[in-house]
Homo-oligomer: A and B are copies of this chain.
Amino acid sequence: MKLTDIIGYLAAFGTTISFLPQAVKTIQTKNTEGISLAMYAIFTLGTLLWLIYGIMSASWPVAAANAVTFIFASTILIYKVRYK
């Protein structure tokens, strides 16, 4: 594997998995005061569009990474709406 590809996979892994600790923290504390509703509304929609793009263009790494991120982001969004 080329160095460029390794960096790309590390980047995809990092930006995907990063939302896990935020989702865990939000579920555990229900503290969403400092979290921006606008961010998670736009970001969740964005990851859904990335998922559609990934499927339509058969870019499976893009589709897979964004399916995971969509689950984390929508969870945080639901908590933000419920416990604002």
Contacts and interface: CB of A to CB of B under 8 A. Distances in A.
Interface string A1-15: 001100110111111
A15 B50 contact: yes
Interface in A1-58: 3-4, 7-8, 10-22, 24-26, 29, 31-36, 38-40, 42-43, 45-47, 49-50, 52-53, 56-57
Given A21-B39, A29-B34, A32-B34, A46 B7 contact: no
A57 B32 CA distance: 38
A14 to B, nearest CB: 3
A35 B22 contact: yes
Contact of A33 (B4, B7, B19, B34): B34
